Amino acid sequence: MKKNVLLGLGLVSLLVLGACGKGDAATDDNVKKVGVLQTVQHGSFDEAYEGFKEGLAENGYVEGENLEISYQNAQNNQDNLKSMSEKLIKDQPDLLLGVGTPAGQSIANGTADIPALVTAVTDLKAAKLVKSYDKPGTNMSGTTNLSPIKKQIDLLLSVAPDAKKIGLLYNAGEVNSQIQIDVATEYLEELGLEIMVRNATSTNDVQQATTSVASEVDAIYIPTDSTFASAATVVGEVVKEHKVPLVAGSVDQVKEGGLVTLGVDYVSLGKQTGEMAAKILDGEAEPQTMPVESAKNLAFYVNEDMAKALGIDPASIKEPK
């Protein structure tokens, strides 16, 4: 009798363990996996990534519960981008995210099958990530951070009304930066202003390029550019020394080394991307037919410390209409 009871208890234990095993497997099946590749660490990209996670959480996907994120930061190194994207793709996640143009391109070069999104990319079509904005036609969609460049130029001229020569700084190797510089150049030429353009291919070149421009121009414009954003504090010290007002493409760049901007709110942009990601994970949408979205919110920001260093009253700087 005792032997039968023990056998019975053993059988029940096995059944319970089996049930637990099935439950764990079901739980694992419900966890969505997302691979994230970020081009470089700086404020705008960091904020976009945080916003992305917020957007997912607000739509039911919480990291540590039903969401597993594998995050890689390439620190603006091409070799890192390639190896990190390959690692993320090899893991076969449910979704990939590229933060910044180089990250998005590295993912696109590695897979045409895994659903993917990008954020903080200026022109997805020029970067050859999508065929069109309305209907991407590839495994990729996302959000563009194209800034209101003409409004930013107008803002620059409002704080430097007597400016005759404008400096433009960027990395020509970044597709998104070249697009913005082309727009800025065309607009400044329409206004009849002289332009001085300098290119920096790495953060090591930023100080020299900025110094050469700051010593010869009346005001400076820098687009949303990864290289210059990564060295924004260096840029800030140079323009402060030369007393030259600077408008940059993003709030983060201005906080660290500029005067004022009307730029993309990157947390909000990331949240938009997170909302798109949730629809893909829900099975409600796919990148091939999901329209690319523009930033819904812009942020006006004045760096009061920089304004005072340049002898400008911060209260006199107004948001363009």
Q: What local confidence, expressed as pLDDT, does residue 8 receive?
A: 47
- Of 45, 279, 297, nearest to 141 (Cα)? 279
For the chain, the distance separating the N- and C-terminal CA atoms, rounded to the nearest angstrom, is 89
Q: Which fold has domain 149-263+300-316?
A: Rossmann fold (3.40.50)
Q: What are the residues whose beta carbons fall under 8 Å from the beta carbon of 113, sequence distance 6 or more?
A: 139
Would you kindly state where each structural domain of the chain is located, as residue ranges?
Answer: 1-26, 27-145+265-298, 149-263+300-316
| Token output for 73 | 């930061």
Please report the sign of the dihedral spanned by the C-alpha atoms of residue 232, residue 238, residue 241, residue 245: negative
Q: How many CB atoms lie within 10 A of CB 164?
A: 11
**Model pLDDT, residue 276:** 98
Q: What's the average model confidence in pLDDT over 3-31?
A: 48
For 89-139, the pLDDT digits (tens) are: 999 999 999 999 999 999 999 999 999 999 999 899 999 999 999 999 999
Mean pLDDT, the chain, integer:
91
pLDDT-derived band at 252 (thresholds 50, 70, 90) equals: confident
- Mapping DSSP to helix (H, G, I), strand (E, B) and coil, where does residue 290 land? coil
The H or E element containing residue 63 is: none
Q: Are 72 and 34 in contact (CB under 8 A)?
A: no
Res. 9: pLDDT tops 60: no
Tokens of 185: 């150049």
pLDDT given at position 213: 98
Tokens found for residue 261: 């901007």
Question: What was the pLDDT predicted at 176?
Answer: 83
Spatial separation of the C-alpha atoms in residues 264 and 267, rounded to whole Å:
9
Per-residue confidence at 76, pLDDT binned at 50, 70, 90? confident
CA 226 to chain centre: 9
- Average pLDDT of the segment spanning 9-18: 43
Question: Given the structure tokens 């039903």, which residue do they identify?
Answer: 66
> Would you state the pLDDT for residue 82?
97
Task: With a cut of 50, say whether residue 184 has pLDDT above it.
Answer: yes
pLDDT beyond 50 at 19: no
Give the model's pLDDT for residue 28.
63
Return the CATH architecture of domain 27-145+265-298: 3-Layer(aba) Sandwich (3.40)
DSSP string, 122-137: S-TTTTTS-S-SSS--
pLDDT at 320: 83
Residue 289 pLDDT greater than 70, yes or no: yes
pLDDT grade, residue 54 (50/70/90)? very high
Outline where the chain has alpha helix (H).
2-30, 43-58, 78-90, 101-110, 149-159, 175-190, 203-214, 226-230, 232-242, 251-257, 266-282, 304-309
